[in-house]
Amino acid sequence: MVLLQHILALPFLCLGYSSIAASAPANSNGDPSSSYPWQWGGAHQDVGYWFDEFQDTLATMQSPTFWNGTYWPASIQWIGAVLNTLVVASDRSLAHALQEYGGGDVPGAYTTAASIQIETQKYFSDVEAYYGDEDVIQIFDAAYDDAQWVVLEWLEAIEFINQYDAYANSALGQADIARFAHRAHIFYNIVQSQFDTSLCGGGITWNPALAPYKNAITNELFISSSIGMYLYFPGDTDTDPYPSPAYVNATNTTLPALPALAAHNPSLLTTAVEEYAWFKTHNFTDAQGLIVDGFHISDNQTTCDQRNEMVYTYNQGVLLSGLRQLWEATGDAMYLTDGYAFVQTVINATGWYARSAAEAGQWTGLGRNGIMEDYCDAPANCSQDNQIFKGIYFHHLDLFCDPLPTSTPLVAGLTKVAPAALASEHASKCASYTPWIKHNANAALSTRNSTGVIGGWWGASYVNKTQEPWPAYAAPRPRGSSDEWNEPWVLEQEPWLCRGWHCREGGRAKRGNRKRTAGLFSMRGAAAKRDANDGGRGRTVETEGSGLGVVKAASDFTLRSAS
């Protein structure tokens, strides 16, 4: 376990905002002899160390503590899709490490190339098993954001299959592509036609069972799922519209046939481009540049006139993968430039560029001491949903920073090849994020308990605290914010409560009028055992999944920097 002994004793935190410089000090290179203490990436900088930590974190998430062989019993449906996406992305990272070293051992890693090959196939078998046990009926009739996590999940699986088989000259997963594609198609079809210009000039409503709310995550997902479908969806002519053979009996609902969808349908690209243009011009960022949660529409209005100022970590990240793929499809460097700005805003908001220990310890919008936090972390009142948010951020940052292709396009005849100067600039900007990512990964690893499970408040060790609730360290939420994820009872109140025609979509009532949680302070299943330091929901598969997101990113970024 990485111990954070290099961090100096920091003063008690001062809640409230600080004016942080927007540019990095010239010496922010992760070297403890020349950097501020909170900018040190840690004693372990080599590829082998981070690769081993990544594998250990993944193994813990896939151990019997959380994984029963076909799914994660203690998780909820949409998070299961995210966890499965992380497993697939981990397989991609394992395969990339093999490819980078010519099929040989990763320098300094304990595991050999032969064992990595075995693990890659083992974890892919977990993905195949989860396909059969995914609770598709429940998530099919949930909110529009939930459906799109499933789309991204199975597109990621298809992308892994094609990349791995091209590298390894294997047929691993080829027989799965059609069924994976069909599931992605079924769930994308739920949102495909939901871009609505009658309210707020465009965008997708979060949940048709609630009053109209154009929120960031649903629309960011629509960008990423639409451009992902354009690039990686292989086409599907199966007209079966049901997510499961049991759907009709379970719901007493008959659905129309699913329309065929060809690979690389140009309308998907058009949708992604238009959705991002709408998002960019509709004031989703606060004064710091952080993405806020969304917009309500007042009665008798059609414009988005009530902004919810709440800030969550995952809202800052999902957009990044969509921007990267929009560049792949169009070659327009604007998408990359916008992505760099979003990343820089987040790093600024963690206090990474502070000039003193006291300044670094202040809440800066999305963390302190250079460590990403959600508002619920320190008081330990995160819902089950919120516990996975930070991992989602780092997963999408990782996707954004894949090297740009300079000779062979990612999708032959469809995606762009980057000029050498642009590819170099992208690599340089992404490499500059590496010390900050390692810093966050070190912080996450410092929260592990005796069984290796990562906690939720990564910054606890930096202020000499444990994972129990520390209300005095809770940052005041932004003025004008409503925290629907961690205070779900607000969904029973105005302006959330649904009273109008929009409670039904296309004549089909949406089952369930709120997000599903397993309780703010309760645990289920194998994850129910907690240690004395666990507050709120404690260490869960969601906190472990968040840890996997950042530790895998640290491994991937270190490998890129070493290449």
Distance (Å) of CA 175 to CA 170, 178, 220, 228, 262? 12, 7, 31, 21, 19
Residue 495 preceded by cis peptide, ω within 30:
yes
pLDDT at 530: 61
Instruction: For residue 394, tell me if it sits in a domain.
Output: yes
pTM for this entry = 0.91
Distance, in Å, from the CA atom of 245 to the CA atom of 236, rounded to the nearest integer, reads 18
Distance, in Å, from the CA atom of 430 to the CA atom of 437, rounded to the nearest integer, reads 10
Question: Could you read off the pLDDT of 473-503 as tens digits, one per residue?
Answer: 999 999 999 999 999 889 888 898 875 544 5
Which DSSP string corresponds to 260-273? PB-TT-HHHHHHHH
Q: Torsions phi, psi of 509, nearest 5?
A: -70, 135
Give the position of tokens 């869960």: 540
Where is 47: in which H helix or E strand?
Answer: helix 47-61
Instruction: For residue 20, tell me if it sits in a domain.
Output: no
Residue ranges in the chain whose pLDDT is less than 70:
1-35, 41-42, 499-530
pLDDT at 519: 34
Distance, in Å, from the CA atom of 381 to the CA atom of 534, rounded to the nearest integer, reads 11
Write out the residue range of the structural domain in which residue 197 sits: 37-562
Instruction: For residue 274, tell me if it sits in a domain.
Output: yes
Instruction: For residue 17, tell me if it sits in a domain.
Output: no
Length of the chain: 563
Distance, in Å, from the CA atom of 360 to the CA atom of 379, rounded to the nearest integer, reads 19
Where is 424: in which H helix or E strand?
Answer: helix 420-432
Distance, in Å, from the CA atom of 286 to the CA atom of 307, rounded to the nearest integer, reads 10
Domain total of the chain: 1
Instruction: For residue 30, tell me if it sits in a domain.
Output: no
Instruction: For residue 123, tell me if it sits in a domain.
Output: yes
Distance, in Å, from the CA atom of 221 to the CA atom of 144, rounded to the nearest integer, reads 9
Question: Could you read off the pLDDT of 182-228 as tens digits, one per residue?
Answer: 999 999 999 999 999 999 999 999 998 888 999 999 999 999 999 99
Instruction: For residue 201, tell me if it sits in a domain.
Output: yes
Instruction: For residue 9, tell me if it sits in a domain.
Output: no
Domain of 419: which CATH number? Answer: 1.50.10.20
